[in-house]
Amino acid sequence: MGDPRTRLCSTTDWKSATLVLFCLAGATRSEESPAQPAPSFLEVKAVLKKHCVGCHNAEEARGELDLTTQESILMGGVGGPAAVAGRPEESPLYRLAAHLDEPRMPPGNRPRIPQRDLALLHDWIKAGIASSSPPSEQAPSREEMPASPVQPNHVTLVSPNPIARPTPITALAVHPTTGILAVSGQQQILLYDLGSSTWSGAIPFEGELHSLRFSTDGKILLAVGGVGAESGRIVGYNVGTWTTFFSIQDDTDAPLSADISPSNELVAWGGPNRVVKVATTKDGQIKYTLTKATDWVMCLKFSPDGLLLAYGDRFGGLHVAEAQSGKDFATLRGHAKSVTSIDWRPDANVLATASEDGTVRLWDMQQLSELTKWDAHPEGVLALALDAKGLLATAGRDRRVRSWTEDGQLRADLGVSQDAIFELAINSRDNEVVSGDWSGRLARHSLNDRQSSSIDIPMGSASPALPSLDVPAPSLAKVSDASQPNRPVSASDIDRKLAALRAIETAAELMKEEAARHPNDPSLTKAYLQICEAAIAMKADLFKIESSPINTDGQASH
Amino acid sequence: MICIPHDPMIAMTRMSIREKSTLDLACRRILVLIALTSLMPLRASAEERPTSLEILPSSISLTGPRDRQGIVVLFHGEDGSTRDVTASARFDVKPRVASVTSGFVSPSEDGSGELSVEYADQVLRVPVKVTGSHDPIKLDFRNDVLPVLTKSGCNTGKCHGSAAGKDGFRLSLFGYDPAGDYYRLTRETGGRRIQLADPDHSLLVNKALGRVNHTGGQLFDEGSESHAILLHWLTAGAQSDAEDAPKPTSIDVFPPEAIFSSSEQEHRIVVRANYSDGSDRDVTRFTVFVGNNDSAATVSPAGIVSSHGAGEAFILARFDKFTAGTSVIVRPGTPFHSPETPAHNAIDELVYEKLNKLHVEPSPLCSDEVFLRRVNIDLAGLLPTSAEQNEFLRDTDPDKRTKVIDRLLARREFLDLWIMRLGELLQLRSNNGMSDKGLLLYDRWLRDQVHQGKPLDELLAELLQAQGGTFENPAVNYFQTETSPQILAENIAQVFLGTRIQCAQCHNHPFDRWTMDDYYGFASFFSQVGYKIAQDPRELTVFNTGTGQMFHPVDKQAVAPKYLGGEVPSIQPGEDYRAVLVRWLASKENPAFARNFANIVWSHFFGRGIVEPVDDARVSNPASNAALLNELARRSANYKFDVRQLARDICMSRTYQQVTQTNPTNARDQRNFARQIVRRMRAEVLLDCINQVTETTTDFAGLPLGGRAIEVPGGRSMNYFLETFGRSPRSTACSCDVKTSPTLSQALHLLNGETTTNKIATGRVVETLLAKMKPMDVAAELYRRCYGRAPTAEESTAIAQRIPADDPRPALEDMFWALLNSNEFLFNH
């Protein structure tokens, strides 16, 4: 094999030769540096998640590409495999991210991902992709990937952490028999004993809580939430000991709603990614997913007999699936706006739904038709609950809590809160309804005397410190001497850079040919890539000079 | 003349950096040398003393602890250029109620003081008033939080401002609905978007900072003012705005005009918003800036304008629902001596005033031949006959051009051209079941009114409040063409006020001053137009119902009629809303009407308006010469909108009579009328001219034999030639309906189609002429007919070689065909 350096020098002009040599020297140097361990898929996953997974995930999969798992990356999308093990330079994943090929990713004139992240992708593909961790044995389909079971661990009930300042109540549940109230707090689940009217403690919970629910038998408290647009957590706690029964991580988003089947075998959750996922509580493996929702999944609930699973979306879609198989069972049309809340009559024959369209609808699940509907809260119904005694309670944007007969007759106005009421639960034991509103007010409304009383949430005493608000001084226009226009970048500077860029591009072409001729010599490939990177950096630099100051606004379009 | 360096200079600015070679580099060095040497004597005489210094704004009022005010110190050079010298000026406030850093005045103590600004031995003073400097900070959603979202681009059309939102979250486009945005941010979903207990972990904040996956990426930095504003507002409970919270009422942009003496300079723009409580704030950092000509000047998100190459740009500033801007001129940076071009009238003076600002020289006056052909096409829609040419060329009267203009204006044809234009403006066509009878009555009515000398304002007054049946009162037909109040309002605004308000139907106009309030207020004038079928089923009766209202789609409230850009008029009970509109439309209170009229007339003679497109005057598309437009508007009103008098002024101007050839300074400029513009004849005029020179006629539906194309009523041409050459179908009110752009089918039609070949054959012009004169004289006659000039010596020689003495007819007919296919014939130049 001839020395590529001499060949390159002989075919390019002298000005560029120095540059090429410099690049090759750089390539050699890094080659000699001690081999670093191949990046783990966890690191890669973090990079992909930050830049790519928003569009390329199991649910959305633009270009039919899902970048959430090793297998799905290898499977690729419409353009074939996204990565070829050991060959980053042949892997679209790397080439598009490095802007070596069109379409450049991320799309839409967004900048290239940071060099550090790019290098990580490169090295991971180079190291062989799957070899860093063994592929899953059962070769699961793409839906089965995101969940990962966590071993049960003990959670100590702690004393409630005072909440810094009033915040909307986003989740609320009442235990079917004991009168324990679970309610969302700041990074915690607050537990309150409705019988003795005392706070009994708190379970720490990382992230925002979006839903709380007790299982039908009262043995499990299901909590769901996470960090919006980042990650979700679905956790089951054993009631009483408050140990973790199961914990499932969902890497797409924080779910908005979740439910556990009456047998405690299945757990279902859904949220802004429009998908309902159903997993087994035993090992957290995804059993199936439901994709009929056309907007955020707002609410879902298993039927009391465990046969069906109903879910509603933000577009007004209401769907029912068979709980064991995930097969579509019915689509119930009627709601014009977001379905906010869902519940079943204990005999499983009637489904009740609430919607932003202001109505409550009851559905005959034998005939699969609408039984009745009525305007419950004209500005929007946000919460609904049914209990075994035939009580139907609702709450809405009009700040009211109301109870109804099953044919839509108003039984009672149970109280008016301070703001829109998003959460509601029935405490059958004490014949009352508990509500939580946007202003953070938690209240119990007795069905006996129709009196309401607030439940004081433990609050921090100090008034919140407002963050400082400095007003930065603006930048000024540079003052130019009228006779000598200021030239920050001289033309000769640009010309020099252009000549260098042309030289380095020529060098890259030659190196590519050389590498193609000697496919077994990895050093050539590496050198080629490094030249490419240098060229990209120079291009970016030149672009910056040419277009500076650039109007990055891009808001002129309409 | 020192114009040698111009050419390469222009060539260079056009060239992208990539294309530059070392040769260019050498050129540039030489150029700089030339520029420097020629500047030397100038500099020696001017010295470094400002001819005038200006401080903007001229008074400073700081209200509350967060109020700041940026200042611009402008240095007006002797040559009329401006320089932003803020960074070099020295500031001092006495007594010390405020301090100044980076040209940014910050409050220290309540009280009044004076800011002195010192630059180059000049000192200027502006008053400073500070109140509430130690009050607690209270942020409003609309005035503090929403501007952060708008500035960051969250509510643009391609992001959350799209009608369907983005990724499940919708904001109103550019924040036209603050209450709705507040609701969606806080309460639409219970706890997803904001976290009051832990504000910094709100999804809103996480997304904007790019901490979590966000399609829009990172919008601002951790610890930035935008970040702090969101946190502060969330920490304080994400409160909604109080009913009496101040609302922005207008914005001021400083400086309103910047004239860069060369490229590679910078100017800072400061934007001040005025509020309903009388306070004002510097909102520069929350203003969205957009430039319209990046090759001349660009603007940074912070409002720093940089000049790049000679030309004009308009920098639009948008804050809340207001748009305003700064007009920017970048001079080539080469020496310029204003030429002493003689002005024929005030039009020329105003044009030259602008050209001197730009350092552009006008082109010379055109020859008599060119003038006669041009003015005939523009005023009569016909070519001058050879007899007319001979007479004009022989005339030695120095006022002979004026005489021709007056003679042409007195002819019927000029008004016919104007009627054609009005027909387009009024969309005079059969539509919505309008019968042919209705159309012809309507066309006849319009024709009679104009020929009887009815001024445009009176004609519109009759049209816009017409009542009765479409047959009995043809003016009523205007309300049959469009029947929805919104579209009627849009059309009136576009056609008679020269502005497009369509955007404001669904959201505040992002690049203009129009808000939804303006839109529905204006549409409201047509909310009481009633329709019923008359006895003759082809006839429609229009009447004033006296009831009915427009409703604002955001708050669902009834909107009272409001003049566009004007007041809410008081309306007597039972009064026809349309009569109230007519009272204002062409009045002094509505200068837009006269400006639009003047602009439309002007565009007829130059192929482009002073505002271009003529029906798209916007804050972001200002007149290229506002003083000229205002003068023409003033004259129009004085002439009581008599189109002939305004046309006379325009045709008399030297600006109209310039050659179309360029000089190095005006080659790239079409906006400022430093030369005439080569224009393709409109379809109707072209066909009439072909008929004229070939001595043929075309049959038009609805016209007697021999009728002219410019008289064809309605929007359906029923004529392939007219359609191909872009006659307006009159289907919309848009000026773009008339097309004069070349297409392949036009070229093919002229080459192969029946129009030219057949007309040459049926007109037998060559044959007739040959009977009277020698072949070479026939050739010369054909040249004069088509080009308005005799063939040149070179052309004559070439023709002579090709005409066989025994049978000259086929060769001459071929030459005739060639003339009709040439650009010199098709274009007015």
Per DSSP bridges, beta strands A208-214 and A198-204 are unpaired
Q: What is the per-residue pLDDT for A421?
A: 97
Q: Which residues in chain B have their CB less than 8 angstroms from residue A482's CB?
A: 77, 81, 83, 261
Q: What is the per-residue pLDDT for A462?
A: 72
Measure A520 CA to nearest chain B CA, in Å: 37
Q: Is B207 near chain A, with CB under 8 Å?
A: yes
Contact criterion met (CB < 8 Å) for A477 and B16: no
CATH number of the domain that A402 lies in? 2.130.10.10
Q: Are A55 and A134 in a shared domain?
A: yes
Q: Where are the domains of chain B?
A: 6-46, 49-136, 141-235, 247-335, 339-364+591-680, 366-410, 455-589, 683-828
Q: Is B201 near chain A, with CB under 8 Å?
A: yes
Residue with tokens 């409003």: B140
| CA distance linking residue B211 with residue B202, whole number of Å | 11
| CA distance linking residue B218 with residue A536, whole number of Å | 22
- Out of B25, B284, B301, the one facing A492 most closely (by C-beta) is B25
Low-confidence ranges of chain A (pLDDT < 70): 1-36, 130-156, 481-494, 543-558
Contact criterion met (CB < 8 Å) for A480 and B290: no
Q: Is residue A137 part of a domain?
A: yes
How many beta-carbon contacts under 8 Å exist across A and B? 215
Q: By residue range, what is the domain housing residue A51?
A: 39-145
A371, two tokens: 């039984």
Tell the burial category of B556 from Cβ atoms under 10 Å away from its Cβ (0-12, 13-18, 19+): exposed
Residues B260 and B95: beta-carbon distance below 8 Å: no
Q: Is B764 near chain A, with CB under 8 Å?
A: no
Q: What is the per-residue pLDDT for A61?
A: 81
| CA distance linking residue B142 with residue A378, whole number of Å | 27
Q: Is B85 near chain A, with CB under 8 Å?
A: yes
Closest CA to B63 of B134, B158, B133, B141: B133
CA closest to B107 among chain A residues = A471
| CA distance linking residue B749 with residue B755, whole number of Å | 8
CA closest to B268 among chain A residues = A477
Q: Are A193 and A136 in a shared domain?
A: no
Closest CA to B585 of B492, B494, B478: B492
Q: Is residue A183 part of a domain?
A: yes
In this chain, the answer to whether the domains covering B49-136 and B247-335 adopt an identical fold is yes
| CA distance linking residue B516 with residue B524, whole number of Å | 12
Amino acid at A88: P
A400, A425, A455: which is the final residue of a domain? A455
Amino acid at B361: E
Q: Is B218 near chain A, with CB under 8 Å?
A: no
**Neighbouring residues of B360: CB distance < 8 A, sequence distance ≥ 6:** B665, B666, B669, B672, B674
Q: Are A414 and A344 in a shared domain?
A: yes
Q: What is the DSSP letter of A121?
A: H
**Neighbouring residues of B521: CB distance < 8 A, sequence distance ≥ 6:** B550, B559, B560, B561, B562, B563, B564, B568
Tell the burial category of B229 from Cβ atoms under 10 Å away from its Cβ (0-12, 13-18, 19+): buried
| CA distance linking residue A372 with residue A362, whole number of Å | 5
Q: Is residue A382 part of a domain?
A: yes
Q: Are A383 and A343 in a shared domain?
A: yes
Contact criterion met (CB < 8 Å) for A438 and B190: yes
**Sheet strands (E) in B89-140:** 90-94, 98-101, 104-107, 111-119, 122-131
B710, two tokens: 């410019």
What number of CA atoms fall less than 13 Å from residue B248's CA on the CB side? 25
| First-to-last C-alpha distance (Å) of chain A | 58
Give contacts of A 339-358 with B, CB under 8 A. none
CA closest to B144 among chain A residues = A469
Q: Is residue A31 part of a domain?
A: no
Q: Are A188 and A127 in a shared domain?
A: no
Contact criterion met (CB < 8 Å) for A50 and B213: yes
Per DSSP bridges, beta strands B322-330 and B257-260 are parallel
CA closest to B306 among chain A residues = A549
Per DSSP bridges, beta strands B82-84 and B72-76 are antiparallel
Q: Is A555 near chain B, with CB under 8 Å?
A: yes
CA closest to A420 among chain B residues = B187
Q: What is the per-residue pLDDT for B6?
A: 32
Q: Are A431 and A298 in a shared domain?
A: yes
| CA distance linking residue A393 with residue A370, whole number of Å | 19
Could you give the strand order of the β-sheet that contains B311-319, starting from the edge strand earlier in sequence?
B257-260, B322-330, B311-319, B288-291
Amino acid at B43: R
| CA distance linking residue B653 with residue B676, whole number of Å | 12
Contact criterion met (CB < 8 Å) for B137 and A466: yes
Measure B821 CA to nearest chain A CA, in Å: 41
Measure A418 CA to nearest chain B CA, in Å: 13
Q: Provide the 10 A C-beta neighbour count for residue A178.
A: 16
Phi/psi of residue A382, nearest 5 degrees = -110, -25
A455, A490, A519: which is the final residue of a domain? A455
- Out of B265, B304, B305, the one facing A480 most closely (by C-beta) is B265
A394, A424, A455: which is the final residue of a domain? A455
Q: Kindly list the distances between the CA atom of residue B193 and the CA atoms of A136, A187, B109, B368, B543, in Å, as whole numbers in the listed order.
A: 36, 16, 39, 73, 52
Give contacts of A 382-421 with B, CB under 8 A. 382, 397, 419-420
Q: Are A369 and A432 in a shared domain?
A: yes
Q: Are A65 and A210 in a shared domain?
A: no
Closest CA to B43 of B74, B73, B77: B77
Q: Kindly list the distances between the CA atom of residue B751 and the CA atoms of B497, B692, B763, in Å, as whole numbers in the listed order.
A: 41, 19, 18
User: H-helix or E-strand containing A453?
Assistant: strand A452-455
Closest CA to B661 of B636, B686, B678, B640: B678
Q: Is residue A308 part of a domain?
A: yes
A48, two tokens: 């992909």
Q: Which residues in chain B have their CB less than 8 angstroms from residue A479's CB?
A: 83-88
Fold for B49-136, please state it. Answer: Immunoglobulin-like (2.60.40)
**Neighbouring residues of B270: CB distance < 8 A, sequence distance ≥ 6:** B56, B57, B69, B70, B71, B72, B253, B254, B282, B284, B303
CATH number for the domain whose boundaries are B247-335: 2.60.40.10
| CA distance linking residue B699 with residue B720, whole number of Å | 12
Q: Is B190 near chain A, with CB under 8 Å?
A: yes
Q: What is the DSSP letter of A100?
A: S
Contact criterion met (CB < 8 Å) for A558 and B153: no
Contact criterion met (CB < 8 Å) for B268 and A476: yes
**Sheet strands (E) in A215-338:** 220-227, 231-238, 244-250, 257-260, 266-270, 276-280, 286-290, 297-302, 308-313, 318-322, 328-331
SS3 letters for B295-329?
Answer: CCEEECCCCEEEECCCEEEEEEEEECCEEEEEEEE
Task: Count how many residues are written for chain A.
Answer: 558
Closest CA to B287 of B244, B316, B254: B316
Contact criterion met (CB < 8 Å) for A228 and B215: no
Q: Are A260 and A383 in a shared domain?
A: yes
Measure A327 CA to nearest chain B CA, in Å: 27
Residues B624 and B351: beta-carbon distance below 8 Å: no
Rg over CA atoms, chain A: 30
Low-confidence ranges of chain B (pLDDT < 50): 1-49
Cα–chain center distance at A94? 24
Contact criterion met (CB < 8 Å) for A486 and B265: yes
Measure B322 CA to nearest chain A CA, in Å: 15
Q: Is residue A365 part of a domain?
A: yes
Phi/psi of residue B322, nearest 5 degrees = -105, 145
Name which of A479, A486, A497, A542 to mutate to probe chain B: the one with the most chain B Cβ atoms within 10 A of its Cβ.
A479
Contact criterion met (CB < 8 Å) for B294 and A295: no
Q: Are A208 and A335 in a shared domain?
A: yes
Q: What is the per-residue pLDDT for B111?
A: 96
Residues B10 and B664: beta-carbon distance below 8 Å: yes
Number of compact structural domains in chain A:
2
SS3 letters for A25-54?
Answer: HHHHHHHHCCCCCCCCHHHHHHHHHHHCCC
ipTM above 0.85, yes or no: no
